[in-house]
Amino acid sequence: MSKIITLLKKDFLLELRQQHTFFGILLYVASTIFVLYLAMGQPESTVYNGLFWMIQLFVCVNAVAKSFMQESHGRMLYFYSIVSPIQFIISKIIYSTVIMLLMVLLSLVLFRILLGNPVMNELQFIGIACLGGLSLSLVFTLMSAIAAKANQNAAIMAILGFPLIIPQLLLLIRLSKSAYGEVFREGAILQISLLLTGLDLLVIVLSIVLFPFLWRD
Amino acid sequence: MQLKWWKILCIIFMFLTFTAGFLIPVPIIGNLHQSIRNFFFHVPMWFGQMGLLTLSLAYSIAYLRTQNLKYDIYASEFAKTGIIFGILGLATGSIWAKYTWGEFWSNDPKQIAAAIAVLIYLAYIVLRGSMTDFDKRARVSSVYNIFAYFIYIPLIMILPRLVQSLHPGGMEGAKGGGNPALGGDSLDATMRLIFWPAVFGWLLLGIWISSLKIRLSLLVNKNLIHE
């Protein structure tokens, strides 16, 4: 446990010292949303919803990708000698989830400012957005670990991750329609949320089980 | 060449599918008419695909446990045949859809899920191609294969049951939900008599095709595999 905290501390310290990466992604989000605003003004809810999740997807690819790719081969060898793979993957999962949740909340604010606010149930939408950020970052953390093994190729991460994330993304897009005031069959919202949480748990368990096989070279 | 019992069984089942499947009298349901015979081709494709991908998963797990490159070759060949079955399933489904629902592609949740499943496994092939080191390729792609399978199952089994679908067994299907593949009692007794042999026949054919490719691949990589 203390090793996980140390690893986390190292990651966040690096984040604080090299702020250009964090702000780089933030700038990327802001300029994308600004271009969207210039292109279409304030869209209606279906378009808004679709755009929101697409932006989250691309933010996630950029933000989470570096969690493994920033580690050089030598540094990985060092980690290999001091921590167990399970501690390592857990710390990476927590790190990328925190970064992703920050990004989700910041882009929510930017969406609110620039693209208007068709959301009727604010709190619910924030909750769904956080759940979505969690799902995205969990899947892409393991994909980033795989892509880092495949010759540090960033394109491979998108190729691997996009088809895998579609089921969750479809569920999220459907679920967030409830926050725009669409009426759902009774119990459907709870059902979909539970399904998403279940998928998240499944991804965490799979990451912990599979990562030890990935990381030894 | 040895003809094993299951290969003989496969030939008998396929023969049955292609003769009796076209000749037996079928019940006329709704606008399906004679196209219901596609039941012997379209639905078994998905059983076949599931079966082959499950075998692929089993061999990926076996590889991670034993580090024997042989199992990695098994896993990749089963996955490739699984992709072919998936594409055939989509094709037979689209043709069926054209004559019953009016369009080749109507964004039905099950069509989308099936297409995504094919994409997921195509990504597996791309991933394999991106690495040249044999051991690394085997290890990384086994990890991806296992992960993909556990995403693929909820995609194909749970999602279509939550939403409205043109397929039988959707949320607002005839009986308010159920198995996405089999529409409850839409098969009569004689059809069932052909349907199950057809399922096993296609599955065995898939295994047969894969086993030929595995034998070839084992010979090509002979010097890498140590018993």
Q: Could you read off the pLDDT of B48-79 as tens digits, one per residue?
A: 999 999 999 999 999 999 888 889 999 999 99
A153 vs B143: CB contact, 8 Å cut-off? no
Question: Tens of pLDDT along A123-175?
Answer: 888 999 999 999 999 999 988 888 888 876 677 888 888 888 888 888 888 88
| Residue B17 banded pLDDT, cuts 50, 70, 90 | confident
Domain assignment present for B91: yes
Is the pLDDT at B149 greater than 80? The verdict is yes
User: Tokens 């690495």 — which residue?
Assistant: B131
Contact B162 A192 (CB under 8 A): yes
Of A150, A163, A170, the CB nearest to B130: A150
B30 domain residue, yes or no:
no
- Domain hosting B107: range is 38-220
Q: Tell me, yes or no, whether B115 lies in a domain.
A: yes
Is the residue at B24 inside a domain?
Answer: no
Other Cβ atoms less than 10 A from the Cβ of B28: the count is 10
- Say if the Cβ atoms of B139 and A150 lie within 8 Å: no
Residue in B66, B110, B126, B147 to test binding to A, most A beta-carbons within 10 Å: B147
Q: How many domains does chain B have?
A: 1
Q: Is residue B14 part of a domain?
A: no
A199: chain B residues, CB-CB within 8 Å: 151, 154
B89 falls within a domain: yes
List CB contacts of B147: < 8 A, sequence separation 6 or more.
Answer: A142, A164, A206, A210
- Tell me the pLDDT tens digit for each residue of A160-213: 888 888 888 888 888 888 888 777 777 778 888 888 899 999 999 999 999 988
Residue of B nearest to A167 (CA): B155
**Local confidence band at B165 (pLDDT 50, 70, 90 cut-offs):** low
Is the CB of B131 less than 8 angstroms away from the CB of A151?
yes
* pLDDT over 90 (residue A61): no
* Predicted local confidence at residue A41, as pLDDT: 82
pTM: 0.87
The verdict on residue B227 lying in a domain is: no
Q: Which of B164, B167, B151, B2 is nearest to A164 (CA)?
A: B151
- Structure confidence by residue, pLDDT tens digits, A94-124: 999 998 999 999 999 988 888 888 888 888 8
Q: Mutating which of A162, A164, A190 best tests the B interface, going by the most B Cβ atoms within 10 A?
A: A164
Q: Is B57 within the bounds of a domain? A: yes
Would an 8 Å CB–CB cutoff place A174 in contact with chain B? Answer: yes
Residues A114 and A34 sit within 8 Å (Cβ to Cβ): yes
CA Rg value for chain B: 19
